[in-house]
């Protein structure tokens, strides 16, 4: 009797172990888990594109890759993102290059006032620029996508109709956008986008200069009742991966990620352009925001103040040995 139950227990155990070996081991051994850090809150476009990428990669690898996403700076914040990914604190991270202006000289040239019309064109131009010049700034990571937001406009608590109105106004902006505000006579206050919510509520700034989807995604329309349509300046973003981690991935997974690069970049630009339309409608209908168009004469004055910015960038980039004029020419051509 005892012998028989020992025998069946052994048989049972053997069956379990066999099942584990047959069914579980291959799945566990083949599953790659990756962390993906992002700095702004979940409903904003950098995080929406992150969730889309996660879904696509998990689907296209049939579950071989599982991605844990960390929005809202829960794993890495805006300024520590690039170095955090290089150090392996997160496998993947989304960076806004404008937050480190001196670090990404070539790709940050997309934020010069070059007249790029929308985020889809901006995203394609940025990705092509990166692929052509392969800037050193990215040599320690693998780029999985690049995109820009849409051209920036002034969102403010007070109406801005002329250059006199913007003079001395405290407006939040980073990187290339700060230079533009300064040229118009405003007082640019630098901080990453998530910090702007509190700065607006406390009154530390009287508005901001960015793409208009934030009117809805961050509910800035509740504070900023005026928008001045300047349609200038893009912010370039990149999704980067730790190099050693990428090199450790199976070849088929690497191929899936590389095949997704341009598609993801364009998807994000297109998504951003659509969000802008929704945010404008919501700001007007639900929040009574006034949208101010500059007259042709006034716009010419504003644009005239920006001419020196690209010249200055060209001079600085040349001093660093970069083919500055060619870079500018390429950005304009790639954005067509």
**Site for ligand DTR, rule CB under 6 A:** 40, 44-46, 96, 149, 174, 193, 210-211, 214, 235
Is the Cβ of residue 4 or residue 202 nearer to ligand DTR in the bound state?
Answer: 202
Write b or e for each residue in 217-241: b if 16 or more Cβ atoms lie within 10 A of its Cβ, otherwise e: bbbbbebbbbbbebbbbbbbbbbbb
- Could you tell me the two tokens for 94? 């989304």
Question: In this complex, which beta carbon is closest to ligand DTR, that of residue 100 or of residue 210?
Answer: 210
HSE toward the beta carbon, residue 323, CA cutoff 13 A: 10
Phi first, then psi, for residue 90 (nearest 5°) are: -140, 150
Shortest CB 124 distance to ligand DTR, Å: 18
- Nearest residue (CB) to ligand DTR, 174 versus 223: 174
Q: How far is the CB of 252 from ligand DTR (least distance, A)?
A: 33
**CB of 96 vs ligand DTR, minimal distance in Å:** 5
Integer angstrom CA distances of residue 124 from 68, 71, 268, 269: 27, 25, 10, 8
Minimal distance in Å, beta carbon 12 to ligand DTR?
55
φ, ψ for residue 29, nearest 5 deg: -65, -35
In whole angstroms, how close is the CB of 47 to ligand DTR at the nearest point? 8
Q: Nearer Cβ to ligand DTR, position 46 or 188?
A: 46
Q: Cβ closer to ligand DTR: 236 or 322?
A: 236
* CB nearer to ligand DTR: pick between 85 and 233: 233
Q: What is the smallest separation between the CB atom of 181 and ligand DTR, expressed in angstroms? A: 11
> In this structure, are residues 212 and 193 in contact, taking their beta carbons and an 8 Å threshold?
no
Whole-angstrom distance, CA of residue 35 vs CA of residue 327: 34
- Given a contact cutoff of 8 angstroms between Cβ atoms, the answer to whether 192 and 39 are in contact is yes
Question: Which residue, 127 or 324, is less far from ligand DTR as judged by CB?
Answer: 127
Minimum CB distance to ligand DTR, residue 305 (Å): 20
């Amino acid at each position: 009797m005892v012998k028989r139950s020992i025998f069946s227990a052994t048989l049972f155990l053997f069956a379990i172990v066999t099942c584990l070996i047959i069914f579980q081991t291959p799945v566990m051994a083949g599953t790659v888990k990756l962390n993906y850090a992002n700095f702004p809150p979940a409903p904003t476009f950098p995080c929406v594109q992150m969730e889309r990428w996660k879904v696509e990669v998990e689907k296209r690898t049939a579950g071989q890759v599982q991605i844990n996403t960390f929005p809202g700076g829960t794993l890495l914040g805006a300024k520590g993102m690039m170095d955090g990914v290089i150090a392996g604190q997160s496998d993947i991270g989304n960076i806004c290059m404008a937050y480190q202006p001196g670090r990404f000289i070539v790709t940050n040239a997309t934020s010069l006032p070059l007249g790029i019309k929308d985020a889809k064109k901006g995203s394609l131009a940025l990705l092509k620029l990166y692929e052509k010049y392969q800037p050193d700034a990215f040599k320690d990571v693998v780029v999985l996508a690049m995109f820009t937001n849409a051209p920036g406009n002034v969102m403010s608590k007070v109406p801005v109709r002329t250059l006199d109105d913007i003079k001395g106004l405290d407006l939040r902006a980073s990187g290339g956008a700060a230079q533009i505000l300064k040229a118009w006579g405003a007082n640019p206050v630098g901080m990453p986008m998530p910090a702007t919510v509190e700065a607006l509520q406390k009154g530390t700034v009287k508005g901001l200069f960015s793409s208009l989807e934030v009117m809805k995604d961050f509910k800035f329309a509740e504070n900023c009742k005026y928008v001045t349509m300047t349609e200038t300046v893009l912010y370039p973003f990149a999704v980067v991966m730790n190099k050693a981690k990428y090199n450790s991935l199976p070849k088929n997974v690497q191929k899936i990620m590389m095949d997704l690069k341009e598609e993801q970049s364009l998807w994000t630009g297109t998504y951003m352009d659509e969000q802008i339309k929704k945010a404008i409608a919501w700001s007007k209908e639900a929040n009574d925001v006034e949208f101010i168009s500059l007259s042709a004469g006034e716009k010419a004055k504003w644009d005239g103040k920006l001419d020196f910015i690209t010249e200055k960038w060209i001079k600085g980039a040349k001093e660093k040995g970069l083919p500055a004029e060619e870079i500018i020419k390429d950005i304009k051509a790639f954005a067509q």
